[in-house]
Amino acid sequence: MKIFSGSSNKPLAEKLANHLNLQLSPIEIFVFPDGERRIRIETSVIEEDTVLVQPTASPVDQNYMELFFIADGLKRSGAKSITVVIPYLGYQRQDHVFRDGEAVSLEVIVNALQSVKIDKVIAFDFHTVKTPEIFSIPVTHLSALPLFAKSIREIGIENSVLVSPDMGGLRRIKIISEILGNIPWIATVKDRDLATGAIEIKNIEGELPANTKRAFIVDDMASSGGTLIESAKLLNKNGVDEVYAFVTHAIFSENAPKLLEESSIKKVFVTDTVFIPKEKVFSKLEVLSVAEMTANELSEK
Ligand code: R5P
């Protein structure tokens, strides 16, 4: 097996290679002055099983183009198989037409991925459980929930409640509740203005158990941070002192790190599915790695 990395999350690719007792294989990514990229696979991959690591968070389009070109380079160089580890799959939230006239971006992306002859995709915590069904190639859908459950246990599950910040996350919250021995869960009800993106967390769905001291909000991603912050505010208003956030994908756009740091949330746990640059690191942030889990999946084959 040979493992390659695009430029979107080399630290994760290196960790993964390490777990597999491999070195990253060399690849040339040349950027022309106009921003176009030329990809060259610098090692023989003839009849090799190859793995490419390339999450597609910001810069989303650039990361996708790189992924397509590397996959094409691998195929043309004779790779036997190409497994693409896309820990975070960009454009997955636009998975259907929300308002007349909209494109279904996820479907376009899936078609493009399949057109470059990828054999398999490994990804973490899709926005919806139905995402793999859009692909006609095998997709392994892994989850950071077991990692989160471990940290939640360490913080303490007594007088605690799990919270889905919106109704879309109910499946996720039920799974983690089960991992933690069926501890109570609730949801906050979110409304997002599709035109402006403004978030309103309206009320709590379900019963907040009496004497709840601590809440763990669990979500798939944080972008502006608004969902977590507004959900935490509502929990505080309802008498919950300590609120922790657990999100798989640290998309962190706009001022999210600053807003999360200044919020009432005690600690924000994320994973390394997306590379977090130094300027987006803040003191309340804790990063858990998905490298070992990914390595286990790859070594099973
Ligand atoms: C949306 O339904 C997702 O599950 C997340 O809740 C959302 O993408 C978070 O976005 P933001 O951080 O901008 O509120």
Protein residue with least CA distance to atom 2, ligand 1 = 168
Residue 191's pLDDT is what? Answer: 87
Residue type, 283: S
231 CA distance to ligand 1 middle (Å): 11
What pLDDT does residue 126 have? 97
Q: What is the pLDDT of residue 198?
A: 85
Distance 220 CA to ligand 1 centre (A): 8
Determine the residue of 191, 227, 254 to mutate for testing ligand 1's pocket, defined as the one with the most ligand atoms within 8 A of the Cβ atom. 227
Q: Among 193, 219, 224, say which to mutate for ligand 1: greatest number of ligand atoms within 8 Å of CB.
A: 219
pLDDT per residue, tens digit, the chain (301 aa), is: 999 999 999 999 999 999 999 999 999 999 999 999 999 999 999 999 999 999 999 999 999 999 999 999 999 999 999 999 999 999 999 999 999 999 999 999 999 999 999 999 999 999 999 999 999 999 999 999 999 999 999 999 999 999 999 998 999 999 999 999 999 999 999 888 888 888 889 899 999 999 999 999 999 999 999 999 999 999 999 999 999 999 999 999 889 999 999 999 999 999 999 999 999 999 999 999 999 999 999 998 5
Task: Residue 88: name the closest of 4, 29, 25, 8 by CA.
Answer: 8
pLDDT for the residue numbered 301? 56
What's the pLDDT at 99?
Answer: 93
**What is the predicted pLDDT for the residue at 122?**
98
Counting ligand 1 atoms within 8 A of each CB, the residue from 58, 223, 268 with the most, and so the one to mutate, is: 223
* pLDDT at 194 (0 to 100): 83
Q: What pLDDT does residue 193 have?
A: 86
**Which ligand 1 atom lies nearest to the CA of residue 220?**
4
Compute, in angstroms, the gap from residue 223 CA to the centroid of ligand 1.
6
Residues lining ligand 1, Cβ inside 6 A: 127, 165-166, 168-169, 199, 219-227
